[in-house]
Structure 1
Amino acid sequence: MTAFLAEWANILLRWAHLVAGIGWIGTSFYFIALDLSLKKRERMNPGVYGTAWEVHGGGFYHVEKYMVAPAQLPEDLIWYKWEAYLTFLTGFALLTVQYYFNASAYLIDPDLLPMRPSEAIVISILSLLGGWLAYDRLLCRSPIGRNTPLLAVAVFALIMLFSYTFTHIYSGRGAFIHVGALVGTIMAANVFMVIVPNQRKITQALLRGEAPDPALGAMGKQRSVHNNYLTLPVLLMMVSNHYPILTNHPQSWILVALILVVGAMARHFLNRHEAGDPFAKIWWTLPIAAAGLAVALVMTAPAPRATTVDGVAVTDEVVVGIAAKHCVACHAAKPSHEGFAEAPKGVVLTDAAKLRQFSALIEQQAVKSDAMPLGNETGMTAKEREMLGAWIAALK
Structure 2
Amino acid sequence: MAKILENLYKALGAGVVLALIVFFLVHRSFDAAFVSFFFRWLHVLSGILWIGLLWYFNFVQIPTMPKIPAELKPAVGKFIAPEALFWFRWSALATVITGLILSILNGYGHQAFAMQEGSRTIGIGMYLGLFMAANVWFIIWPNQKKALGIVPADDAAKAKAARVAMLGSRTNFMLSIPMLYCMVAQQNGGAW
TM-score above 0.5, yes or no: yes
Q: Highest CA radius of gyration, 1 or 2?
A: 1
Secondary structure at the counterpart of residue 99 of structure 1: coil
Of residues 233, 236, 240, the one that matches 2:181 is 236
Aligned to 2:165: 220
Tell whether 2:70 aligns with 1:32: no
Distance 1:39 1:176 in 2: 38
User: Which residues of 2 match residues 173-252 of structure 1 at below 5 A?
Assistant: 174-202=119-147, 203=149, 204-206=151-153, 210-211=154-155, 213=157, 214-244=159-189, 246-248=190-192
Report the number of matched residues. Answer: 156
In structure 1, the residue matched to 2:117 is 171
Q: Quote how far apart the aligned CAs of 1:247 are.
A: 2.0
**Are residues 1:90 and 2:98 paired?**
yes
CA distance in 2, matches of 1:200, 1:37: 20
Distance 1:243 1:100, change over 3 A: closer
Contact 1:205–1:212 (Cα < 8 Å) also in 2: no
Structure 1 unaligned blocks of 5 or more: 49-62, 67-72, 108-120, 128-165, 249-396
Query: How far apart are 1:99 and its partner, in Å?
Result: 2.8
Q: Which runs of 5+ in 2 are unaligned?
A: 1-29
Cα separation, 2, equivalents of 1:222 and 1:198? 11
Once the two structures are TM-superposed, the CA of residue 6 in structure 1 deviates from its matched residue by 2.2
Q: TM-score, normalised by structure 2?
A: 0.68
**Does the CA contact (< 8 Å) of 1:84 and 1:191 recur in 2?**
yes
* Structure with a larger share of its residues in strand: 1
Q: Would you tell me which structure has more helix in proportion to its own residues?
A: 2
CA contact (8 A) 1:205 1:211 kept: no
Shift of 1:239: 2.1
| Percent of residue pairs bearing the same amino acid type | 26
- TM-score between both structures, scaled by the size of structure 1: 0.35
- Give 1:20's aligned residue: 46
